[in-house]
Amino acid sequence: MLTNFHTHTFLCHHAEGTVSDYVAAAQASGCDMLGFSDHCPYPRDGNDTWPGIRMTPEEAVTYVSDVRNAAAAFPVYLGFECEYDAEYASWYADELKGRFGADYLVLGAHWVCAGNERLYIPDVHDRALIRQYFDTVIEGMRTGLYSFLAHPDLIMADGRCWDAELESHFSELIDAAVSCGLPLEVNGVGLARRMVAGERGLRHPYPVDEFWELAAKKNAAVVCNADAHRPQDVIANAVLARNFAARFGITPLETIFPESR
């Protein structure tokens, strides 16, 4: 099967293409199941939720309608990619799953809260904030709100070294994923992006070998997704992710819905 449950659209303001553009590209590539998971809106409460990289609540109405009315020869699912922030947990449940009727939510942990700021995690090197980040992600994983954890190794995107402290954090994260049955995502867009300078030379920003060796050893459930920001990547990036997973003997799940596995 060819599936992808991580797809963005022009509504997030850093991707291109409409829902119909992605559906057409997926169909041309032999897709069997497609999920849209654009960055979720937030209430207009004045907080720094990075509004420049997400749809507004009003645009979400259009997004939901476009996904629900997509004409495809395969199932198309409605999702949103969300941070975990306890302040917004009820918004996710009541608005995204409730009012908008999302089929699934993706835990995309891009930031860590530092006072009133939300800092992009690959830019963070403070040990206490990194510990806080992992604790928050694990807390989010255990809420039951999400269907998978996107790019779990995103923090490595700056080229930082894999060390004993990071390995300990990642080990706890993988153990939590196994405990609560939450799949971890091999993210295809990280494989398509420019290489970064790592401790042993150039490498992909993510996924990183050390993390996935550990995930394979612990028998974590894995999904392989595109994280497509262009229609032409909607299946191509997912194939990159599958090929990466195969290097570690990982057989990915074909669906994120437990009742269909």
pLDDT digit string (tens) for 99-136? 999 999 999 999 999 998 999 999 999 999 999 999 99
Q: Decide: 156 and 162 in contact? Cβ < 8 Å.
A: yes
Q: Residue 223 belongs to what H/E stretch?
A: strand 222-225
pLDDT tens digits for range 146-193: 999 999 999 999 999 999 999 999 999 999 999 999 999 999 999 999
Q: Rounded to an integer, what distance in angstroms lies between the CA atom of residue 178 and that of residue 115?
A: 31
Residue 230 has pLDDT above 80, yes or no: yes
Residue 259 has pLDDT above 90, yes or no: no
- 179 token code pair: 């405990």
User: Residue 162, Cβ neighbours under 10 Å: how many?
Assistant: 18
Alpha carbon 229 to its chain's center: 12
Confidence class for position 258, pLDDT limits 50, 70, 90: confident
Does domain 3-247 fall under CATH 3.20.20.140? My reply is yes
Residue 66 has pLDDT above 80, yes or no: yes
- 216 token code pair: 């394979």
Q: Which amino acid is at 10?
A: F
